[in-house]
Amino acid sequence: MANTKKTGTAGAGEAAALPNAEPAPQFQAFRWMNPIRPGESLPLHPLLADVETTRNLIGGVSVILGMFEREAIDRGFQEEDGSPVAPMFSEPDRAELLRMCIGICGVLQGRADETIEWANKKRGAHR
**Average pLDDT, whole number, for the chain?**
78
Q: Which of 93, 110, 98 is nearest to 54 (CA)?
A: 110
Summarised one tens digit per residue, pLDDT across range 78-116 is 999 999 999 999 999 999 999 999 999 999 999 888 888
Query: Where on the phi/psi map is residue 94: left (φ > 0), alpha (ψ -120 to 50), or beta?
Result: alpha
The answer to whether the predicted template modeling score (pTM) of the entire model surpasses 0.85 is: no
Summarised one tens digit per residue, pLDDT across range 1-15 is 444 433 444 444 444
d(CA 49, CA 36): 10
